[in-house]
């Protein structure tokens, strides 16, 4: 079994950059794309990455729950 590294997106990327970087990561064979919860809403950035990919796992590194409505976190 060969390990495939994932790619972390910084919290400063735009939605367009998230799409482009996620597509490049998938094309390069990455196993996943992970979004940092820093300045932008990580769930929207994750959605942009998902829109550009079909085979990689997309998620947040950490999502601060207490800073959001429970409905958003769910």
The pLDDT of residue 67: 83
φ and ψ at residue 2, rounded to 5 degrees: -100, 130
What local confidence, expressed as pLDDT, does residue 1 receive? 65
Q: Which segments in the chain show pLDDT lower than 70?
A: 1
* pLDDT score for 50: 96
57-to-1, 16, 66, 71 alpha-carbon distances in Å: 18, 18, 25, 23
Is there a contact between 34 and 46 (Cβ–Cβ < 8 Å)?
Answer: no
pLDDT on residue 27: 97
């Amino acid at each position: 079994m060969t390990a495939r590294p994932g790619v972390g997106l910084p919290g400063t990327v735009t939605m367009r950059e998230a799409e482009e970087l996620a597509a490049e990561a998938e094309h390069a064979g990455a196993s996943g794309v992970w979004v940092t919860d820093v300045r932008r809403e990580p769930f929207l950035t994750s959605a942009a990455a998902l829109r550009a990919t079909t085979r990689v796992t997309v998620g947040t590194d950490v999502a601060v729950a207490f800073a959001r409505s429970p409905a958003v976190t769910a």
